[in-house]
Amino acid sequence: MFDRFALDEVDVAGIRLRVRHGGSGPAVVLLHGHPRTHTTWYAVAPRLVDAGFTVVCPDLRGYGRSAKPVTDADHTPYSKRAMAGDVVGLMDLLGHQRFAVVGHDRGSYVAYRSALDHPERVARLAVLDSVPIVEALEQCGAEFAAAWWHWWFFAQSEKPAEQVICSDPESWYGAWTTNTPQALGPENHADFLAAIRDPATVHAMLEDYRAGLGVDRRNDAADRAAGRRIECPTLVLWSTDDDMEQLYGDPVDVWRPWCRDVTGHGIKSTHHIAEQAPDELTRSLTHFLGMTDEGR
């Protein structure tokens, strides 16, 4: 797994991040979702290296083997603004002034926050299986609440979800049913298993969701009110066998007011697209990341 990649632990402004990186050429950061680690990209990252890119895959703060900072009442250490700062700091350490960011699921929120907060650094943005947090919350109806009930459960603090999940994390996360070694790949599965078995990681992952319903939503709403938009070319991809189209119709339409230049399409897959459709995902990313602005 990750042949030709280096595996490091680096300090970014006091936050330790585990990161794999390899290749040469234009730089792209791949950001995983919940409850995965950077190893979810094991089938995509080498293909992007073969296509001529430098690829950087960190564990987000709170996830995998990256640091789990002490939280506060507003959960700001787990805000997407803080995580986006980690991404920019990491790329500084690795020597990349301009780079593309690709994010899936929770990682997509960090990706678009990176583009909004650091437009001078992010050259291209790809978001997978997501819409902006404030849009998801404002468009929430009975169907969303029923399908994505975990957002509300994870966000509770008076009756914390940690107690439920940590009593049997393997059953909770389907480690031997839907998320098997065969489905994830044995090494990716082992890394996933180590993460969900760690109570500190479970707590930190839930802090990500708690920040999402509070500080992240407020940051999104403030940006929208101020008329801030994502300046770089943006690609929206989604899994056609997930519920994005059912909930939002064409997800590109949801992103359009947020982006100056946005395109997108669905890919035949269920939710964990990097593991289930790596060839088609890589083709879509390679085409998008390799385009010149003049060619759009």
pLDDT of the residue at 158: 75
Residue 291 lies in a domain: yes
pLDDT of the residue at 85: 98
Residue with tokens 């002034």: 97
Q: Are 91 and 75 a contacting pair, CB within 8 Å?
A: no
pLDDT of the residue at 294: 40
Residue 23 lies in a domain: yes
Q: What are the Cα distances from residue 93, in Å, to 60, 78, 98, 171, 286? A: 16, 21, 13, 38, 25
CATH number of residue 211's parent domain = 3.40.50.1820
Residue 245 lies in a domain: yes
Residue 1 lies in a domain: no
Active-site position among 34, 75, 271, 272 = 271
pLDDT of the residue at 264: 98
pLDDT of the residue at 258: 98
| pLDDT tens for each residue of the chain, 296 residues long | 999 999 999 999 999 999 999 999 999 999 999 999 999 999 999 999 999 999 999 999 999 999 999 999 999 999 999 999 999 999 999 999 999 999 999 999 999 999 999 999 999 999 999 999 999 999 999 999 999 999 999 998 878 899 999 999 999 999 999 999 999 999 999 999 999 999 999 999 999 999 999 999 999 999 999 999 999 999 999 999 999 999 999 999 999 999 999 999 999 999 999 999 999 999 999 999 996 544 33
Q: What are the Cα distances from residue 239, in Å, to 47, 112, 129, 269? A: 20, 18, 6, 5
Active-site position among 59, 96, 104, 105 = 105
Residue 218 lies in a domain: yes
Residue 239 lies in a domain: yes
pLDDT of the residue at 160: 87
Is residue 189 annotated as a catalytic residue, yes or no? no
- How far is the C-alpha of 64 from the C-alpha of 195, rounded, in Å? 5
The number of domains in the chain is 1
Is residue 105 annotated as a catalytic residue, yes or no? yes
Residue 244 CA, distance from chain mean position: 16
Domain that holds residue 16: 6-295
Q: How far apart are the first and last CA of the chain?
A: 34
pLDDT of the residue at 24: 96
Residue 72 lies in a domain: yes
